[in-house]
Structure 1
Amino acid sequence: MRSTSTTDPRTPSTDRLPLAALLALATAVFVTALTETLPAGVLPAMSADLAVSESAMGQSVTIYALGTALTAIPLTAATARWRRKRLLLTTVVAFALANTVTAASTDYLLTMAARFVAGVAAGLAWAMLAGYARRMVPDHLQGRAIAVVMAGIPVALSLGVPAGTFLGAAAGWRLTFALMTALTVVLVGWILALVPDQPGQEPGAQTPVRRTLAVPGVVPVLFVTLVFVLAHTILYTYVAAFLGQVGLGDAVDLVLLLFGAASLVSIWVVGAHIDRGPRALIVASVVLVAAAATALALLSDGAALVHVAVVLWGLGWGGVPTLLQTAVADAGGEAADTAQSMLVTLWNVAMAGGGVAGGALLAHLGPAALPWTLPVLLAPVLVVVLAARVHGFPARRPGARG
């Protein structure tokens, strides 16, 4: 198999991004991100409708993440020889089925089963999308290509989750999941029409996990992924409960809109500068998220201060998926595909852990305890980023121009 760290030999040498294809992949990312995070905006309504506590309903994020974490590596290996377009279409159809069941279900266990299936589909999608994008463009455009695809995350956060929260309040949370199904049907046609196919791996080409972990730089990136995502998820999953505690329970959609809009700015900055300054960008991300969480913990008495802190949080978090996906692919080299599937697994282990840990904190210490976990967890993340200056988080990407 060709490493995802180099361009496919058949990729035309051009300075223009194949935007139609990349935006289709970005929409797939949007679907995965919105399906994953939507319960955060409609958690009280879902818990009331399904007759469970908010902590129990928060585990819908956990079970989604577990579906990804438990299956990303083995299913990525099992489907390694599939052509990429076939695999992408399979994951999109699986999302359509899972969201349809979620929208129609009146049973908590059935809803959780549907969420698990969606998580499985997400694991397959996440393990291939960055590599798919990289193979469409020359080396010097790979960072930008990934940034376009990963823009689906902040769009989901800035538009999807607030819109879903608003629709959930106005017409019921089930409508939001039904609309997700409609979007995936449109996406299937888009992929069929405009996304170029790519071959799968050659037999025996996948690098074993143990050898991948021995590649310099891979372990630091994976550690940062695990702990950074854990910290973010603890607060984000239960942000509605936290906002209710500080008197902003009726403004969840507005707060999520601010967070997502700031995330869009973040990913634009990251896309513009990732080739020449990935290390500075990841350091800034860690510092901004830690500072925002500290502000929420200390200064949550006024709505304006909460809004400012949430904007800082979005500015710090928005570009993180692009930075980490790019870092692990660059560090992995010939083992990039295995490293990518490991990152996806740890990302979702962290999300599952964040759902559980956040639920425990919410149940035993209350919402005010949630933001305090972020600066504590992000301190070792910053240490590792600063230490991995040669392998993992270098000042410039290999092959960067200018």
Structure 2
Amino acid sequence: MRYVEALKIAIRSILSNKMRSFLTMLGIIIGVTAVIALVSIGQGSTRSITSQIQSMGSNLIMVNVMGRGGESSLTYDQAIALKDSSFIAAISPVISSSVTAMYGNNSVDNTTVNGVNGDYQSIRDLQVAAGRFILPMDDEGRNKVAVLGSNVARELFGFTDPIGKTIKLNGQNFTVVGILSQKGSSIAGSDDDSIFIPLKTMFYFAKNRDIRQIYIEATSPDTVELAKNEINSKLLQIFKGDTNAFRIMDQSQILSTVNSVTATLSLLLGGIAGISLLVGGIGIMNIMLVSVTERTREIGIRKALGAKKKDILLQFIIESLTLSGLGGIVGIIVGYVLSMVLGSAMNINAKPSLSTVLISFSFSVIVGLFFGVYPANKAANLNPIEALRYE
């Protein structure tokens, strides 16, 4: 019963100074809002990037060649020879170049054209919306055919069916044989903004036979490490033991790196936002000290009527907790709304997690308790005779 009465007194005190109480809670509200919004944005970004990495293809291994001395790349035969393994299901060397694509009066400047083989589709898990992807016979015959990303197709053809139409890539004619389904961006770039042609056609189109990028698909998640070991062994032989001449990455490594970075970023953002909670706590302590001074006679009267030290201590601690608790609740609501608005604007799922909400609210209550103890203790230690004489 003592706690209920103390809570009623605390609420009456808060309502008697509405504006002052609101301004006191404002620091807690801003702190909780900032923690929830920033941490949710960080977690949403992590989920978005993880989804993008996973959409790059299953069991994916990427090889980037930096070279060693005069050997700055692999030849086509050296790259294809990496497939000679029971742990590798598919392989596609990639050569990229920037081109201007034209159809009639429409053009797309500085778009990326990728020379790939037929395995690239399964490795990168690409879906064809219309037509087909590049076939082995296109590669062997060095056919001038092209598969367009969804954005490129829309900019060149609008709502017209592009299959069978002829486009110009840097002035050279290519027949459109396929359109990719829209997939969105990933850390490896966006296939929606790219054009794909046969790899061997790319040798002559770009006058470049140097292989510096290779996409490889392992037979299963369990064989990824085994495939990487074989690839590493073969590349070490080619580059005479120089481990700096190439880099082999798989999805788990990329995910681990990204998750480590984003987790650190989320923690940093949460820490920065948490500072405002401490500032809000200082505001609560300041107002509580003012309240103790203003209510000195009230405290003296209560003590004279038999109130014990712990009763006075409880009253002011509950008042402090009420201020911080109400501020925390309002901050959760505002933080949730702000997270959803920012997430929608940034096109990520920034819905706050239950753990984020509970941690931020708990922290706000702890701040209220911590900064309310000193004023409460000061009020509890007042001499009743001196308090009654206070004007």
Q: TM-score, with normalisation over the residues of structure 1?
A: 0.25
Instruction: Find the structure with the greater CA-based Rg.
Output: 2
Say which structure is richer in strand.
2
Q: TM-score, with normalisation over the residues of structure 2?
A: 0.26
